[in-house]
Amino acid sequence: MIKVRQSTIIDAPVDTVWRLLRDFNGHESWHPAIATSAIEGGEPVDMVGAVRRFRLKDGGELREQLLSLSDRQRRLTYCLLEAPLPLMGYVATISLKPVTDGDRTFWEWSSEFHPPAERRDELVRLVTEGIYRTGFEAIRRLVGRAPVLGTLPLPSPAGGAGGRPAPQAVSFSHDEKADRAQVGALIPPPLTPPLKEEGDSVGAPGARTGDVVRLGAGVAESPSPLREGVRGGGTPAEGSDVSRQDRTRAIVVERHGGPEVLQPGEIALPPPGTGEVRVRHTAIGVNYIDVYCRTGYFDLLQPPGVPGMEAAGVVEALGPGVGDLAIGDRVAYAGPPLGAYCERANRPAGMLVGLSDDIADELAAAGLLKGVTASFLLHDVFAVRPGHVVLVHAAAGGVGQLLVQWARHLGATVIATTSSEAKARVVERLGAQHVLLYGRGADFASEVMRISGGRGADVVYDAVGKDTFAGSLVALGVRGHLVSFGQASGPVGDWDIGRFASKSVTVSRPNYGHFTDTPEKLGPHVARFFAAVRRGVVALDPPRRYALADAADAHRDLEARATTGSLVLVP
């Protein structure tokens, strides 16, 4: 495989050049080598699939087909169908980019083909000089402003006698490119720059679909007969083992209580109902809210029941009326109804989030609920702006770590509290400007006042509850806002709101469900969280793993404040 690449600068606006080049039959009017050309069947010149049949001035006749055309990228790709020369497998791309500095055009013309070895040099020369460079000059004469390449210092390209040979970018195998790619990181870049990999391949038309959530084909695509069979009448497909899987391993809470009530067992699993899909879990998130459900502090779990509201996995079966998911899709969810602590669960399809290839199952299972929570806490409950003083309690915990990183990204001064030196170091690494230890009688409220020069915090994110609530109120500035979103140390007790008037403070007690209980509410937070992960705004440590049967251990560690970051159960 030979790869040929030529590029030049045309001193004309990119749209001027593109108007000429995007016409697949236009080469007749500008390329000196072309005598006549026509699109077969009289099809439009910008129809992908159009075939141009043309004759060279030396008599040879060729046919080429337009494979892709993008007005957005100003790029087109075509292949050779018939030619009098052995340019086997010839696929070429023309790509334009604006040079904003001077309103000029960068034009790259590249191709790949397999020539017979003995004619390689001859064919490379024909393509690079006879076609590409000749084409560059023709367009330059047509639209370029004089003087030719006035701003480029090095040799005039137009066949100047005695000029040194122009460099040609030619490589001879994919292996060589791979070698260069590997050593490139270890040694200084070579004097001759390595070739660029073409971003878009023409080899797999249709592989890129409009679906931006599920990247890549393959595992996500199930054979349609199976899918249709399952979707059809809502009955399990012939040959699939859905019908036999009427039970699943699960953690069952028979009564509210301590971690010991998390007992492994089995529960019945009916076929997915209307609007539901069955998800085979690959990782299950453990959240502090699961503790509240287990103890009965929240009345979300009525024994006997299965706790958990966050997991990632693979769609295993579709209930009636589910149209936009397929068996094999990677998905995740975060939120009620409960029941995630199990191997398989039926879930409402509308509340499932498709996972792209760059979001791992464990990251989604460990991070989705916390990430969505952090998203609405920082944007909806209170909108953090540059310059705000933000106090985050339990900053080494799951949501806390996200709040610290994200608030700092939003331009806030972040003051974090945590319970140990080790956790303080974690929080410092996340970017908190100030880290305070609580639990030693230290008065964090005074520290916040000192750090903020007496102004106090604009917002306090407090999921610790009883131990911190009073101090959080003291740490607030005038018209500050206290977000109480948990009570890991116990309920905050009764407060006379008359006392809030001294600083006009406001307090909110957000409930996850009220910000996320429809796809319309949930979607933007999921998108914002995944974007933040991709862009490195928030970095998540790999979660600590426990076997599903050891869910009680996970809860013990979580309640003992022995953990930093996230926990997952693995079925």
Partner 1 sequence: MPKIFISTVIAAPAAEVWRVVRDFNGLPSWTPFVAESRIEQGAKADQIGCIRNFVLKDGGRIRERLLALSDYDLSCTYTILESPMGVSDYIATLALTPVTDGNATFASWQAEFDCAPEREAALVQQIGQGVFQAAFTALKQRFGR
Q: Could you tell me the end-to-end alpha-carbon distance of the chain, in angstroms, rounded to an integer?
A: 47
> Considering Cα of 249, then 254, then 256, then 260, what sign does the dihedral take?
negative
Nearer to partner 1, 165 or 454 (CB): 165
Nearest to residue 522, comparing CAs of 391, 308, 348?
Answer: 348
- Least Å distance, CB 371 to partner 1, is 14
- Least Å distance, CB 306 to partner 1, is 37
Nearest to residue 27, comparing CAs of 188, 182, 142?
Answer: 142
CA separation for the pair 220, 365 (Å, rounded)? 19
Q: How far is C-alpha 545 from the chain's CA centre? A: 24
- Least Å distance, CB 170 to partner 1, is 10
CA atoms within 13 A on the CB side of 372: 31
- Least Å distance, CB 436 to partner 1, is 20
DSSP structure class, residue 297: S
Using only C-alpha atoms, the chain has a radius of gyration, in whole angstroms, of 32
Interacting residues with partner 1 (CB under 8 A): 5-9, 97-102, 104, 106, 108, 133, 136, 149, 151-155, 157, 166-169, 177, 180-181, 184-185, 188-194, 196-197, 386, 408-411, 429, 431, 531-532, 535-537, 539
Residue 214: CB atoms within 10 Å:
19
Nearer to partner 1, 83 or 537 (CB): 537
Q: What is the DSSP string of 19-34?
A: HHHT-TTTHHHH-TTE
CA separation for the pair 399, 415 (Å, rounded)? 15
Nearer to partner 1, 157 or 348 (CB): 157
- Least Å distance, CB 219 to partner 1, is 25
- Least Å distance, CB 430 to partner 1, is 10
Angle between the N-to-C axes of helices 551-559 and 288-295, in degrees from 0 to 180, rounded to the nearest 10 = 100
- Least Å distance, CB 286 to partner 1, is 26
Cross-strand partners of 413: 389
- Least Å distance, CB 12 to partner 1, is 14
- Least Å distance, CB 533 to partner 1, is 11
Nearer to partner 1, 28 or 541 (CB): 541
Nearer to partner 1, 478 or 531 (CB): 531
- Is the omega angle on the peptide bond into residue 193 within 30 degrees of 0, that is, cis? no
The residues near 102 (Cβ < 8 Å, ≥ 6 apart) are 11, 151
Structure tokens at 388: 């705000």
Nearest to residue 546, comparing CAs of 534, 559, 556, 538?
Answer: 556
- Least Å distance, CB 9 to partner 1, is 5
Q: What is the DSSP string of 207-264?
A: SS-S-SSS-SSSTT---HHHHHHHHHHSSPPTT-STTT--EEEEEEESSS-SGGGEEE
Nearer to partner 1, 108 or 343 (CB): 108
- Least Å distance, CB 421 to partner 1, is 18
Nearer to partner 1, 38 or 166 (CB): 166
Give the three-state DSSP class for 173: coil
- Least Å distance, CB 506 to partner 1, is 23
Confirm if 275 and 322 have CB atoms less than 8 A apart. Answer: yes
91, amino acid identity: V
CA separation for the pair 141, 29 (Å, rounded)? 13
Nearer to partner 1, 47 or 152 (CB): 152
CA separation for the pair 342, 571 (Å, rounded)? 7
Nearer to partner 1, 427 or 492 (CB): 427
Structure tokens at 176: 């060589």
203, amino acid identity: G
Nearer to partner 1, 166 or 442 (CB): 166
- Least Å distance, CB 163 to partner 1, is 11
Residues in the chain: 571
285, amino acid identity: G
Nearest to residue 85, comparing CAs of 131, 136, 139?
Answer: 131
Nearer to partner 1, 6 or 566 (CB): 6
Nearer to partner 1, 227 or 408 (CB): 408
Nearer to partner 1, 86 or 184 (CB): 184
